[in-house]
Amino acid sequence: MYQIYIIATVIAVIHGAVDFQKHFKVCNRNSLELNDCMVEAVRDGILAMADGIEELRIPPIDPYHQKELKVEYKNNQISAKIVTKDIYVAGLKSSVVKDARVRADEDSLRIEIDLFSPTVFIKGEYEGEGQYNALKVAADGEFNTTMSKFY
């Protein structure tokens, strides 16, 4: 189902059914002011997506809610797996874009963005387990963190 949604979105954008520039600033990759344009584009994009964009089916990013996130790591004798659920993130819309660096050529595009957020709050539930050789650990519960002056 998710693949169908992506294909439908791509087709809609290609055929002009969605006006991307209505919601986001578009920068010319050949412009001498590309980095400055990208700073503005990211700043404006964060504000535009803060409450979500229904026309583009973009959910709100502040507060942002994710139902589940799974991470698994394996390397020789070390393995770990964690599942986080009901993840809630707040404070992203107050982020300040400090700088942007764009490197573009015919085959690639690299974008680096420096952000500062006065406060970001994250909470959720977790369940995890890990192993190093014969040593096994497991834990579950709730987590929350408040990050101040977050770069």
Q: pLDDT for 96-145, tens place per residue?
A: 999 999 987 888 888 999 999 999 999 999 999 999 999 999 999 999 99
Q: How many domains does the chain have?
A: 1
Residue partners of 78: CB distance under 8 A and separation at least 6: 130, 131, 132
Does 20 have pLDDT greater than 80?
A: no
* pTM over 0.85, yes/no: no
pLDDT tens readout for residues 37-78: 999 999 999 999 999 988 888 899 999 999 999 999 999 999
* Structure token digits, residue 125: 């539930």
Look up the domain containing 25 and give its range: 2-150
